[in-house]
Amino acid sequence: MDKLRVGILLFDGVEVLDFAGPFEVFSRTRLTPGVESRRSEDSAPFEVFTVAARGLPLFTTGGLRILPHFTFDGAPRPDILVIPGGFGTRALLADQPTLDWIRHRAAEVQRLTSVCTGALLLAKAGLLAGRRATTHWGALDLLASLDRTIIVERGRRVVEDGIVTSAGVAAGIDMAFSVVESICGPAVADETAHYIEYPRERTHA
Cite the active site residues: 116
Q: Which is nearer to a copy of itself, 67 or 129 (CB)?
A: 67
Binding window for a copy of itself (CB under 8 A); candidates: 70-78, 101-109, 125-133, 166-174: 166-174
Residue 158's DSSP bridge partners are 166
Distance CA 190, CA 143 (A): 31
Binding window for a copy of itself (CB under 8 A); candidates: 119-127, 130-138, 144-152, 176-184: 130-138
Distance CA 196, CA 132 (A): 30
48 binds a copy of itself (CB under 8 A): yes
Question: Please, are residues 123 and 130 in contact by the beta-carbon 8 Å criterion?
Answer: no
15 binds a copy of itself (CB under 8 A): yes
CA 19 to chain centre: 7
| Of the candidates 11, 6, 12, the residue with the CA atom closest to the CA atom of residue 176 | 6
Distance of closest approach, residue 24 Cβ to a copy of itself, in angstroms? 4
87 binds a copy of itself (CB under 8 A): yes
156 binds a copy of itself (CB under 8 A): no
Q: Which is nearer to a copy of itself, 6 or 128 (CB)?
A: 6
The terminus-to-terminus CA distance of the chain in angstroms comes to 26
93 binds a copy of itself (CB under 8 A): no
Within 10 Å of residue 73's Cβ, how many Cβ atoms? 10
Options 169, 175, 179, 184; binder of a copy of itself; rule CB under 8 A: 169
Q: Which distant-in-sequence residues (6+ apart) come within 8 Å of 45 by Cβ?
A: 1, 3, 4, 29, 30, 31, 183, 184, 188
9 binds a copy of itself (CB under 8 A): no
Distance CA 12, CA 180 (A): 27
Can you give the binding site for a copy of itself, defined by CB under 8 A? 15-17, 20-21, 23-24, 27-28, 34-35, 38-39, 48-50, 57, 61-69, 87, 136-138, 157, 167-171, 173, 195-199, 201
